[in-house]
Every structure is written in structure tokens, then in C-alpha cells.
Amino acid sequence: MKLWGGRFETGPSEIFERFSNSLHFDKRLLAADVRGSQAFVRSLTRAGVLNTDECACMTGAFDSIREDSVKPNFFDGATDEDIHSFVIRKLKERVGSLADKVHTGRSRNEQVSLDTRLWLREECDRTLGLLRALMGELLALAAKYPDAIIPGYTHLRRAQAVLWPHYLLAYFEMFARDYERFTEARRRTNVMPLGSGALAGSGFPHDRAAIAHDLGFDSITRNSMDVSADRDFALDYLYAASVTMIHLSRMAEDWILYSSEEFGWLELGDGVTSGSSLMPQKKNPDSLELIRGKSGRVLGALNSLFFTMKGLPLTYNRDMQEDKEPLFEAADQLNGCLEMAGLVANSVVLRPHVPLEAANESWVVATDLAEALARNGTAFHQAHQIVGRLVLESVRNGKKPADWNADSLATFAPEFTPEMAALLHPREGMKTREIPGGTGPATVAAALAEAGARLQSLL
């Protein structure tokens, strides 16, 4: 069924219909479309356009459409232009010509904005819930190995020793920022557009605040032209989704490396890994590789909508129908990846002696030694030179930090005092980093507790 036609002498070509119809993807908005239409009908009744019997008849029919929509075959044979046209046809099948009144003063331009906002608001809540769950898994994984030491990396070269919980809390912070971004995206989405008409504002006296209240929106949009032209709320979600996917992808990359034979720190659970059809020994981190791979699709969705919106003249243009597939795709991929990442985190087993050994056998303590010299009065540049020479000498002679002691250090350079020899062991050096945000053991224990309390406050 068409919501227009009077002005045309012939109908659209079959090719154009196939080209432009969106029902096959925007049918996902059915529940939102029905809910919004029910609120609109109630508003028309308050505005004196419909009587209460007509209102009850239509809202009841909308209920039955929603109930029937879960049945298989509900959409079979439908050739309607979009979900809005489809729902009106279904309404007409149920209430006859009364359905002709439902679009009084309503444009699909405001309707599609409303439907997308209603759908996206729920999607934000789903994402926020999955983020909370993942953050909880990270804290649990940190708490399993509170004292474990790993080498932290820059340039993928061993840099300085950090506590395992400190490393995991870095991701916790990223996801906490993502949480804020989705909260903000939800806030911007949760604004009610109905009453805007096609672009100029409705010609009927709707109480817009009452519609907002009916549908659980925080407030109403302020400009009818902006409503028809705006997809910022979708871009905000896609941006938040893209940043989250980058965080997930980087965590996936870390854990793919750390679980490799070359690193050997982590064992991933059988439930999140796969084997090879040829090589019997393989245990592949496919779950993490897919998270890394799917991040590209979400970043692509953000770019897709950016390019669709760029340069569109105000107000609505049919180009904007191209917002939905990237939005649906991004939400599905994101939520799937968040769920998967939580399960992987839950399955991780750390072999603490492996990263500890990696820290011990490398010169991650070099900075600790240089800083100790500087604290004792040696200018930092000189201290850096002394320890640099110590490392060079050791590398040449195959010596590890533990091969040195207080005497040999003092012989190497008189600036070394006997107490500094303790810093040849990474765990000692970390104790000098009790600064807010640092990897000092007491600081990290407090940070873990604080993160737990912050997560609780999000529930």
C-alpha cells in the first residue's frame, strides 16, 4: 500500500520500487513504529481530531499487529515501500477506512526519526548492560592474579614492569569512557520529534510534551526542520560504537599475542577457540580474531553514515534511508563482540611465571635503577648514561639483571649504593611507583577497589 498517489498518473516502475523499497531491512522497526503510532493516535485524540472510540479501536488494532508480527510469514508477499506503509496497510485490514485518519498531519520524516530513536534507545541500554558485564569480567580476571607481574610494552618491546591488574585496569578505563559515551548517545537520542510534521511543524494542536511523556522521552526537539534533517543521534551511537570496537580490537590483539606460543602467558578456554581441519595440534584464537575483524565493519558503518549525510541540503532527503543498515549492522556487531569478549575474559587462565620470567630476564628494571640514581643526587641524564652502559655491558656478556649484585654494581659505577641492588628485581622497582594512576602495589589495590565501587554505581 502507498501513502501517496493522487498526484501521479501512473504508478512507479517495478524497477524503481525494487530499488527504493526498504521494508526488507526497516521491518526491524515494527515494534517502535507501532508504539509511536499508538502514542500519536492518543495525541490526535487529545487534540480533538479523533474521538475516544476511534482511539481505542486503533490502539487495539496496533496491539494486534505487534502480536501478529512475531508469527512466521507475517511479512510474506509484502511489497510495501517501507515499514511505515506496511503498518498502515495492516491497520487498514483491521479497522477499514478509519485507518485513513491515522496520518493526520503526520509525516514519515518525523515518524522515521521517532522510530529510529525508540529503537536506538533500547539498543543503547543493551550496549550499556554488556559493557557493565565486560567491565565486571575484567575486574574478576584482575582479582584472580592480584600480584602477577608482566612486562609492559612500548613499540612492542619490553619497557617497564607492571602488575597484571594494572594492565587490565587500563582496559577498564577505556570501557568506562565508552560507557559515558553511550550514556551521552542515549541522552541525545532520547528526545521526542513528533509534532514536527514534514519539516514545518504540525498543523494540529498536539501537546508535544504529553507525547514525550507517553513514550518515555526526556524532552522534545526544538526545531522541526532540524528533526527532518538530523541523524546526529545515529552518528553519536556509531562513533561510540567505533571507539568501543577499537578498544575491543586492541584487547583482542594483545590476547592473541599473549596466548601465542611465542609469549605463552595466557591460555584461552576451549569454549572460545577452534581447531584446524588439517593440523591436529592447533588451538586458534578465532573468537578474538573475529572481534578484531568485526571492528572494521563498525568503523565502516560510521564512515558510511558520515558520507551519506555530508552535503545533504536541508531538510529530509531520501539518501537518509541509507542510515538504517549501517546502524543495525553496527549495533549487532558491537553487541555480539561485547558478549564474546566477556566470555573470553572469563575463560582466560594466566600462567604468572611466564610473564614474570620475561620481566626478570629483560631490562625492564633499567628505568627503576636510573631513577634511583637520580633520587640519590646524580643528574638524570648521567644516571641514564650509567644504566645504559650497564645494559650494554650486560647484553654483550649475556648477563641478566639478577646476575648483578651490590658489589658488582658499585664496581661498575660508584654512584650505585648497596640498597639500589634490590631494584634489580622488578617487584621492588614497582614499589617506587605509588603515585595515583601508577603501578605501585598499594595504588593498584586501591584502584581495583575503586573500580569495583565505580562499576557498582553504574548498576
Q: Which residues are known to be catalytic?
A: 155, 276
Take residue 10 and report the three cell numbers written for it. Answer: 501512473
Binding-site residue total for ligand ARG (CB under 6 A)? Answer: 10
Cell numbers 599473549 label which residue? 258
SS3 194: coil
State which of positions 88-147 bind ligand ARG (CB under 6 A): 108-109, 112
Q: Residue with C-alpha cell 515494527?
A: 30
* Least CB distance to ligand ARG at residue 96 (A): 25
Which residue's CB is nearer to ligand ARG, number 249 or number 304?
304
231 forms part of the interface with ligand ARG (CB under 6 A): no
Indicate the residue among 119 and 316 with the shorter CB distance to ligand ARG: 316
The three-state secondary structure class of 151 is strand
Cα separation, 443 vs 424, in Å, equals 21
**Do the Cβ atoms of 139 and 448 come closer than 8 Å?**
yes
CA 427 to chain centre: 35
The three grid cell numbers given for residue 236, joined into one nine-digit string: 553519536
Q: Considering beta carbons, is residue 160 or 221 the nearer one to ligand ARG?
A: 221
Centroid of chain to Cα 217: 23
Find the shortest distance in angstroms from Cβ 318 to ligand ARG: 6
CB of 28 to ligand ARG, least distance (A): 12
Which of positions 314-333 make contact with ligand ARG (CB under 6 A)? Answer: 316, 318, 320-321
* Longest CA–CA separation in the chain, Å: 100
Contacts of 385 (CB under 8 A, 6+ apart): none
Q: How far is the CB of 26 from ligand ARG (least distance, A)?
A: 6
Of the pair 112, 309, the CB lying nearest ligand ARG is at 112
Judged by CB under 6 A, the chain residues 64 through 83 that form the site for ligand ARG are 82
The per-residue DSSP string of 209-234 comes to: HHHHHHTT-SEE-S-HHHHHH--HHH
Nearest residue (CB) to ligand ARG, 81 versus 236: 81
Residues that bind ligand ARG in the complex, under the rule CB under 6 A = 22, 26, 82, 108-109, 112, 316, 318, 320-321
